[in-house]
Each structure stands twice: as structure tokens, then as C-alpha cells.
Amino acid sequence: MRKVVFSMLVDNTSGVLSRIAGLFSRRGYNIDSLTVGVTADPRYSRATVVAKGDRIILEQIEKQLNKLVDVIDIKRLEPESSICRELIMIKLKVNEENRQSVISVANIFRAKIVDVSKESLLIELTGNQSKIEAFIDLLHGYEILELARTGITGLSRGVFDVKMYDEDGQLMDYDFS
């Protein structure tokens, strides 16, 4: 089983997310992670889907996603040529005795303490999945009250595969030099 990150430029219209999720559901494929947000151009959103499977299944997923009418562009974000990140917010139960040790762990990971109360700390951390997992592993001795993860989002490095669209949605010839 291999994990692939698909980055898609999609129309920013209602129902797009439902159609993407429905494609996976109808075929019995699982979505490991799904993030969607509007781009610099409000006509489009960027959807990042993470899926696992063998080569044939992953190729089939890519072909089926590419057939969706709302999908303008799709590419695989390969680890060596892209940057992928995830955000986690984690609320921990703390007291006077263990508060400083939790803050020390957060500082090691360059996490932000975004809320403090007598009984809890709310920590925000952004990074790749291995950094997020390592942070969670180090917190196993503490009581996690709540945890929220955004899922992976990412972009390819450089400008070699950037596509720009005009007002009519037509692919433009764009010179980045």
C-alpha cells in the first residue's frame, strides 16, 4: 500500500466536495485526509486528497477524479518535489506540577500555546505528518482533552507546473521568467 497526495484545482461551487467524496464512496475507496479552501482566485478552490492503495487503485482514483467536471487540474504531490503540511490543535489537561513540562515539549517542536487556563493548555502546531505524530507521541503521558487535525495540504515546489487561468477559465500561456 502506497500513500498519494492529490492536489486538485476545482471550481469553487456548491456540491464539489460532495462529488469528490461520493466518487470515493461509490468505489469503496477510503479518504485518509481531505482539505479544501479557496485560492487566490475566488472562482477556484484547492482540494488536497490523501489516499492509500496499490499502484492500480491509485491510478484509477486519479483517472476518476480527473473525469469530474468540476476538476480543472489534478497533480500528484511527490515528496521530493512538493511541500505538505498539517495543522493540529491539542488541548491538554495540566496542573501546576506538569504545566512547565508540557510547555517545554511544545517549545522543542516550535508549537504555539494559543490558550491557557488553570486546568488546560491549548497548543497549535504546524508541520509534516511525522513531526505531528512525534509531537503527539511525546504527549502520551498527559491527558488529551480534545484534538483537532486539519489533514494534509500542500503545493509543488517552484513554478514548473503552475497553471494560470483567464477570466473565461481558459488556460493561459504564462511566462514565469
- Is residue 7 within 8 A of residue 36, CB to CB? The reply is no
In a domain, 51, yes or no: yes
Per-residue pLDDT band for 175 (boundaries 50, 70, 90) equals low
Q: How far is CA 175 from the centre of its chain?
A: 29
End-to-end CA distance of the chain: 39
Q: What total number of domains does the chain contain?
A: 2
67, 22: one domain: yes
pLDDT digits (tens, 9 = 90+) for 20-29: 999 999 999 9
- Is residue 98 within 8 A of residue 133, CB to CB? The reply is no
pLDDT digits (tens, 9 = 90+) for 108-165: 999 999 999 999 999 999 999 999 999 999 999 999 999 999 999 999 998 777 777 7
Per-residue pLDDT band for 176 (boundaries 50, 70, 90) equals low
Which one of 23, 44, 76 terminates a domain?
76
70, 119: one domain: no
In a domain, 171, yes or no: no
The pairing of strands 44-53 and 112-116 is unpaired
9, 71: one domain: yes
Query: Residue 146, CB half-sphere, CA atoms under 13 Å: how many?
Result: 8
In a domain, 136, yes or no: yes
Q: What is the domain-level CATH number for residue 148?
A: 3.30.70.1150
Instruction: State the Cα–Cα distance between residues 10 and 69, nearest whole angstrom.
Output: 9
Q: How far is CA 107 from the centre of its chain?
A: 23
Residue with cell 495543522: 87
Instruction: State the Cα–Cα distance between residues 43 and 28, nearest whole angstrom.
Output: 30
Which one of 52, 76, 100 terminates a domain?
76
Question: Does the structure show a pLDDT above 70 at 174?
Answer: no
96, 140: one domain: yes
- Domain extent, residue 105, equals 84-153
